[in-house]
């Protein structure tokens, strides 16, 4: 699993144990990170990162999450995104 996100999101994922978490501030950061990603890697990105990285649309294993917690209408939304991405339901 690879994380591409804003500083808060990527840092939080690193603290949660995901080693391949990249902070994306600019398109240049995004393109540098993309060089390290294989086509079959599972990628989680923030919406803001997805907006600057049209190249990610070529990857089949990409899940885009809202930038802010307030953008989820409920915890169930987050559970469904995780379940569709990972294939199992997690307690959130």
pLDDT at 90 over 60: no
d(CA 70, CA 60) in angstroms, rounded, equals 27
Paired with 45 in beta bridges are 4, 64
Domains annotated for the chain, with CATH where assigned, are 2-86 (3.40.50.10580)
pLDDT of residue 84: 66
Q: How far apart are CA 33 and CA 63, in angstroms?
A: 16
What is the reported pTM?
0.73
Query: Where does 16-74 have alpha helices with state H?
Result: 27-34, 47-52
- Supply the pLDDT for residue 4: 93
Q: Per residue in 28-77, pLDDT tens?
A: 998 999 899 888 888 888 888 888 887 887 888 888 887 766 665 666 76
Q: Cβ(63)–Cβ(81) under 8 Å?
A: yes
């Amino acid at each position: 699993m690879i994380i591409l996100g804003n500083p808060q999101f990527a840092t939080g994922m690193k603290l949660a144990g995901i080693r391949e978490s990249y902070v994306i501030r600019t398109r240049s950061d995004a393109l540098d990170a993309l060089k390290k990603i294989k086509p079959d890697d599972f990628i989680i990105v923030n919406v803001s990162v997805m907006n600057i990285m049209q190249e990610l649309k070529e990857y089949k294993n990409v899940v885009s999450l809202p930038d802010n917690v307030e953008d989820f209408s409920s915890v169930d939304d987050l559970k469904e995104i995780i379940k569709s991405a990972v294939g199992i339901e997690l307690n959130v």
